[in-house]
Structure 1
Amino acid sequence: MSLSFDVFWSFRSPYSYLVTKRLVRLVEEWDVTAVIRPVRPLAVRTPDHFVRMDPLWRPYLFLDTKRTADYLGLPFARPRPDPIIQDPQTNVIAAEQPYIQNLTHLGIAACRMGRGLAYIDHVGSMLWDGTVVGWDQGDHLARAAAAAGLDHDRLQAMVDDDRDGCEAELQANEAALRAAGHWGVPTFVFEGEPFFGQDHLDVLLWRLRRHGTARRSSGEAVDG
């Protein structure tokens, strides 16, 4: 019995990157569809969140994300440049966010093309695996899109031609995330039940199996 679940995911979230390879494998191995729903990072959705947070939060985040990457055997480095514009001392978020806004709209366009999971996999790796400096320059985005089976220029044209539609879809994704009962990413939602965090992917699979999902016989992935 084929089942589907929503994936709320952000290009600036290290934990979103850290779960994606396992998410790809899950969809390859099990008869399920991951419906990718890109959202902006919490720093942009709720700008005062990081101003109010405990000062211990950021150093622990740096420690835990590197440790988790090491545990999973994944290369890891923070994107250069940061996809959001934020004062590193005060954590104040800039009013204009051209990097993350366009990246997220590109993700929405990729989902419209039926290649959302492949796109977040390859673009997420390009941002976070430490192999690229200046991801916003040159052909880095184009090469990542090509690896996902997409043409970057076509995606960008889709975004430029329907910026309002992409923004409406983005806001609908963010509203759906909260309606499902959470605010963070990555969050997986199956039949209204949220599973927050990269460490809950196995719990999601447990729930899917209890609802009858089975292993694929062909190993062919279904994108979303």
Structure 2
Amino acid sequence: MTHTLDLYWSFRSPYSYIVMPRLLELERNFDARVNVRPVLPIAVRQPEFFANSDPLWFSYLFRDSVRSAEFAGMPLRWPRPDPVAMDFATRTYPKEQPHIHRLTRLGQLAAERGHGLAVLRAVSHLIWSGEVDGWNEGDHLALALAKAGCDLAEMDAAQQAEAARLDAAIAQNEADQRTGGHYGVPLMVYDGEPFFGQDRYDQLVWRMQQKGMAAR
């Protein structure tokens, strides 16, 4: 019996990036399947969320995300450019966003084609690892997708042609995410039980093993 979980995941979340290697490891080492469900970041879905938050929320996020990546043995630097355009002085987000809708549609398309985890891992590493500046420039994104066995030019053409359908699928992911028990990412929902955050991964595996998940 294959044990399946739903993964609600955002390209703007450092914690989503941090959990990726472990989810790939889960599928590789156990009789498990991760159903990738990309969602737009909370900053796009609810722009007022951060504008109304305490300033300490941001300072802690930056410190904790770097520490969490270091603990996981992963490099992390805040993306250049940020996948979500933001005015840091006012903590507001313009309605027009140059990157995140494209990225999320590409993630949804990859999931539908059976390349979800591989694409999320390759692209999030490009965006968050700090190995390059301007991840959106030149052939960086194309090379990242190629590592996952995908062709960026073909997928870009598809996501543009199917934008309305993909946006509807992403909106359904977001509705199902809340039904699953949380609004944040990464959210892993297994057998109706939500596990929010990369730091709940070990509890997720523990629960899956309780319910009979076996090693490969």
* Superposition TM-score tier, normalisation by shorter sequence: over 0.9
Instruction: Look up the equivalent residue of 1:9 and give its one-letter code.
Output: W
Question: How many Å apart are 1:15 and its aligned residue?
Answer: 0.4
Could you give the per-residue CA deviations for residues 140-199 of structure 1, whole angstroms, max 9, x where no partner exists? 111010001111111111101111001000100000001111000000001221100000
Does residue 144 (structure 1) correspond to residue 154 (structure 2)? The answer is no
Question: May I ask how many residue pairs the two structures share in their alignment?
Answer: 216
Q: Aligned with 1:85: secondary structure?
A: coil
Q: How does 1:58-77 map to 2 (within 5 A)?
A: 58-77=58-77
Could you give the per-residue CA deviations for residues 86-138 of structure 1, whole angstroms, max 9, x where no partner exists? 11111111111130000000001111110000000000000000011111111
Q: Which runs of 5+ in 1 are unaligned?
A: 217-224
Q: Which runs of 5+ in 2 are unaligned?
A: none
Q: How does 1:143-162 map to 2 (within 5 A)?
A: 143-162=143-162
Q: How many percent of aligned residue pairs carry the same amino acid?
A: 46
Instruction: Look up the equivalent residue of 1:190 and give its one-letter code.
Output: Y
Instruction: Report the equivalent of 1:10.
Output: 10
Instruction: Report the equivalent of 1:44.
Output: 44
Distance in 2, Cα, partners of 1:214 & 1:50: 41
- Bigger shift: 118-127 or 89-98? 89-98
Does residue 213 (structure 1) correspond to residue 187 (structure 2)? The answer is no
Instruction: Report the equivalent of 1:170.
Output: 170
Question: How many Å apart are 1:205 and its aligned residue?
Answer: 0.6
Distance in 2, Cα, partners of 1:100 & 1:168: 15
Could you give the per-residue CA deviations for residues 52-74 of structure 1, whole angstroms, max 9, x where no partner exists? 11111111111111111111110
Runs of 4+ displaced beyond 2 Å: none
Question: How many Å apart are 1:211 and its aligned residue?
Answer: 1.1
Q: Aligned with 1:6: secondary structure?
A: strand
Distance in 2, Cα, partners of 1:69 & 1:160: 33
Distance in 2, Cα, partners of 1:93 & 1:12: 13
Instruction: Report the equivalent of 1:202.
Output: 202
Distance in 2, Cα, partners of 1:108 & 1:154: 14
Instruction: Report the equivalent of 1:193.
Output: 193
What TM-score results when the alignment is normalised by the length of structure 2?
0.98
Question: How many Å apart are 1:3 and its aligned residue?
Answer: 1.0
Distance in 2, Cα, partners of 1:109 & 1:126: 18
Could you say what the CA RMSD is over the residues aligned between the two structures, in angstroms?
0.8
Instruction: Report the equivalent of 1:87.
Output: 87
Instruction: Look up the equivalent residue of 2:26 and give its one-letter code.
Output: L
Distance in 2, Cα, partners of 1:40 & 1:98: 13
Q: Aligned with 1:56: secondary structure?
A: helix
Q: How does 1:106-117 map to 2 (within 5 A)?
A: 106-117=106-117
Distance in 2, Cα, partners of 1:171 & 1:2: 27
Distance in 2, Cα, partners of 1:3 & 1:56: 39
